[in-house]
Chain A
Amino acid sequence: MRQVCVWCPDWPVIAWRATDPTLTDAPCVVLGRIQQREVVLATDVGARTAGVHRGARRREAEACCPGVQLRSVDPSRETRVFERVVRAIETFTTRIEVHHPGRVVFPTRGPSRYFGGDTALADQLVDAVRAAGVSQVRVGIADGELAAWCAARRADPVHVVPAGASAGFLAAHPIAVLGDADFADLAVRLGITTLGVFVDLPVAAVLARFGYEGVQRHVRARGEDATPLQLQTPPEELIERHVFDPPVARVDAAAFAAKSLADRCIARLERLGYACTRVLVEAETEQGGAFARAWRHDGPLDASALADRVRWQLEAWLQPDAATGALAPPGAVVDAVLVDVDAGPENGLVWVQITPEEIVPADGRQLGFWGGDHAAAERVGRACARVQSLCGPQSVARAVMAGGRFPHERVTWVPWGDVAPTSTAAPWPGGIPGPAPARVWDPPLPAELLDADGQPVQVGARGEVRTAPATLRCAMLPNGGGSVDGWAGPWAHDVRWWDVVQHRRGVCWQVRVRGVAALVVVQRGRAALVAVYD
């Protein structure tokens, strides 16, 4: 099937530039995590000419291009800004698929005839996207989604591969354009460096060596579509809908609904033995505005990937950026005609619906051999979701070891369901020695640490003891504290001296008061109880 691919290169950087006024004209790169390593995911032209490439480490980027501005990847922002491009394209056709922010694919058959041929359609697409305020756009038209994507990468700004010539066009491309790094690595080591060599292999041999997935890649490499067009409407019972009562306009509430909706949808598909590769997200506002958007994924969507896409889309609808106007319904998608309406609390979402549009048989997922009791983890997950619905998404957390001198810095509480940063259990120089206190206050409680004369204890500029602690008073301690049995320290600290806001300078004492061991910090002459060794 003939497809057109509209691609906005460097979209993560462009989305940041469109929304972050603190970014200057200096080169900018967007960083993200791939397998626990922080690497460059997207660069702009300035950074690229300085030698920063995708996959480079953060340090390499800073070394190649001093003064480069670093931002972390933010898919919801990208989706929000991409909304204006999608709306511009929606004036051409209704059947568009967002692969990820920056890349849209749709079949050309109807629009191409209407707008006067492939080249004319591509030119008009470029004009429409540029009119929406995005100058960097490339359009490729070819047979099959992979050929269209390769054509868009080669386009300047338009590249049309004639009908029937896609297989020849693709033959010279490297095997890595299929998108799977592991497969590309293996294929190159087997001597299959280009798609042409891969296509020349007999299908039976590809099936024997690479299995069903390999055959699908073979089909795509030939310039055909791996998933044939499905024209039947999806069965009613697969559609999942969430009705909001009262309507919500807050993004976090919508995101929470997105999570449960995605879980339900995937669970139902799993029960039937299906997986979903293309999903339609629909929503309606109180004033009758209807929205719909299709998302496609390479390979089956799992619950968290689906929830992410639904959440990004709802965020894009609820918090459109200024250029698109607030909650302006895309006229081309549905017939509901509405003028711009104010995004306010009275204009929330009434319902959200997920329709799995393309389903494929689920051929199973290999769980880890030592994966543990999967059912138990799921039960706990449900209980956590219940508590999150009671007390808010931030309320349930997991402890992840982190770096820092103070007890409350040694552990980061990561909300349940969020991606946990890498745990760093390594020792931290300059930390307080001894066991970790079991009861930690953040922020610390006000206290009084006095010497024998009843004056606040004093420490010299280099952390030497001038007067020893004799009394500790704090409302939390039994009987309000009392005389000190023993003390250790002081440990002087001068942390983050380069940062005006977070700069902390002071000393820590370990103090025993009537058998209770406590950690006291004195900063700016003021004592505070940080922790009790409970």
Chain B
Amino acid sequence: MSVVTSPHSRAASWRSDALAHHRRDRAAAQAALDDLAVRIRPTGAAHERSLSVPEPFAALLPRVQRGAVVAIDGPPGAGVLSVAFGIAAGVTQAGEWVAAVDPDGVFGGNAAIECGIDPERFVVARHVSARQWSAVVAAFLDGAPCVLAYVPARVSQSDAQRLVARARERASALLVVGPWPAAAASRIRLTESVWSEFGIDAPFLDSARTFHAHVEGRGQAPGPRALAVAS
């Protein structure tokens, strides 16, 4: 026995197919438009006076001013590098370049990318000797809108002050990680970061953690902050 489809139901199925097709097309067009919006956004943000910091780190520092110094400090393991990468991620997402100075060659590039930094607009000077550190930071301040510099053990106060002036003059944001002996527009002092417990449900380190920091700076109420990052 053969199944005969009535012309009516055939037309209906054709219509529903066409409708589904149309919806798919619209969804694809919307996706393309969203993609386009993301891609043209950099040109919009390129000349603003300050750069926004993406969530969740906006709670520590809502915006990075061009030409200002942000000092991030804390013991190893408290999350100083994650916070610095998170703030720098906002800069690359705005279509700007970030140049990093890593004197010991310890930056985890994978972590930087996971924090949201676009590797296409991220350069790192690695294994820089302490003697050349300030010259390298100054050279990067001339060219890059944001410089992320890990401060070696001893950097003189006069060098640091000169770099602050250089950053202001070139309108480049300077994020320094480590003890900073000069003025800074914002200071973020991380005290500790709390990880979730290991257990049967958590057989490995979960990326959810809580940063505890003490924040002071222009336009911000000074005081402690707790910043929970979901996994």
Chains A and B come from one and the same complex = yes
Interface residues of A (CB under 8 A from B): 370, 372-373, 376-377, 379-384, 386-387, 390-391, 395-401, 407-408, 410-411, 413, 416, 423, 432-442, 476-478, 486-489, 510, 512, 515-518, 531-534
In the complex, what residues of B have CB within 8 A of residue A383's CB?
Answer: 99, 139-140, 142-144
Residue contact A440 to B106, C-beta cutoff 8 Å: yes
- B229 nearest in chain A by CB position: A435
In the complex, what residues of A have CB within 8 A of residue B95's CB?
Answer: 372-373
Query: Per-residue 0/1 for B93-108: is the Cβ within 8 Å of any A Cβ (1 yes, 0 no)?
Result: 0011101000001111
- A433 nearest in chain B by CB position: B204
B199 to chain A, nearest CB (A): 8
B14 to chain A, nearest CB (A): 36
Q: Residue B126 at the A interface, CB < 8 A?
A: yes
- A442 nearest in chain B by CB position: B105
Residue contact B119 to A399, C-beta cutoff 8 Å: yes
Which segment of B5-13, B54-62, B76-84 sits at the interface? B76-84
Identify 18 residue pairs between A and B in the complex whose beta-carbon atoms are under 8 Å apart, listed by A's number. A372-B95, A376-B97, A383-B140, A386-B143, A390-B136, A391-B128, A391-B132, A391-B136, A398-B124, A410-B109, A413-B126, A436-B110, A438-B82, A440-B108, A441-B106, A489-B204, A512-B198, A532-B77
Residue contact B193 to A401, C-beta cutoff 8 Å: no
Residue contact A411 to B78, C-beta cutoff 8 Å: no
Q: How far is the CA of A440 from the CA of B102 in the complex (A)?
A: 12
Residue contact B195 to A515, C-beta cutoff 8 Å: yes
Residue contact B76 to A477, C-beta cutoff 8 Å: yes
Q: Residue B151 at the A interface, CB < 8 A?
A: no
Total number of residue pairs linking A and B with CB closer than 8 Å: 176
Q: How far is the CA of A428 from the CA of B125 in the complex (A)?
A: 27
Sort A-B residue pairs by CB-CB distance and give the 10 closest, nearest first.
Answer: A383-B143, A516-B77, A411-B109, A399-B109, A434-B205, A435-B207, A438-B81, A436-B110, A438-B111, A436-B111
B220 to chain A, nearest CB (A): 23
Residue contact A435 to B114, C-beta cutoff 8 Å: yes
Q: Residue B145 at the A interface, CB < 8 A?
A: yes
Residue contact A386 to B77, C-beta cutoff 8 Å: no
B171 to chain A, nearest CB (A): 12
Residue contact A387 to B108, C-beta cutoff 8 Å: no
In the complex, what residues of B have CB within 8 A of residue A488's CB?
Answer: 198, 202-205
Q: Residue B75 at the A interface, CB < 8 A?
A: yes
Residue contact A515 to B204, C-beta cutoff 8 Å: no
Q: Residue B180 at the A interface, CB < 8 A?
A: no
Q: How far is the CA of A379 from the CA of B40 in the complex (A)?
A: 21
Q: How far is the CA of A272 from the CA of B12 in the complex (A)?
A: 67
Q: Residue B112 at the A interface, CB < 8 A?
A: yes
Q: How far is the CA of A395 from the CA of B102 in the complex (A)?
A: 10
Q: Residue B123 at the A interface, CB < 8 A?
A: yes
Most buried by B among A408, A441, A532, A534: A534
In the complex, what residues of B have CB within 8 A of residue A436's CB?
Answer: 108, 110-111, 113-114
In the complex, what residues of B have CB within 8 A of residue A533's CB?
Answer: 77, 195, 205
Residue contact A517 to B144, C-beta cutoff 8 Å: no
- Chain B positions 31-77 with a Cβ under 8 Å from a chain A Cβ: 39-40, 42-43, 46, 75-77
Residue contact B109 to A380, C-beta cutoff 8 Å: no
Q: Which of B109, B115, B139, B194 contacts A515 (CB 8 A)?
A: B194
A124 to chain B, nearest CB (A): 53
In the complex, what residues of B have CB within 8 A of residue A532's CB?
Answer: 76-77
Q: How far is the CA of A370 from the CA of B108 in the complex (A)?
A: 29
Residue contact A512 to B126, C-beta cutoff 8 Å: no
Q: How far is the CA of A442 from the CA of B202 in the complex (A)?
A: 28
Residue contact B139 to A534, C-beta cutoff 8 Å: no
Q: Residue B127 at the A interface, CB < 8 A?
A: yes
Q: A391-B136, A515-B194, A534-B78 are in contact. Are A439 and B123 (CB under 8 A)?
A: no
- A486 nearest in chain B by CB position: B198
Q: Residue B197 at the A interface, CB < 8 A?
A: yes
Q: How far is the CA of A436 from the CA of B128 in the complex (A)?
A: 24
B228 to chain A, nearest CB (A): 15
Q: A370-B39, A440-B106, A488-B198 are in contact. Are A434 and B207 (CB under 8 A)?
A: yes
Q: Which of B40, B80, B143, B204 contacts A380 (CB 8 A)?
A: B143
Q: Residue B206 at the A interface, CB < 8 A?
A: yes
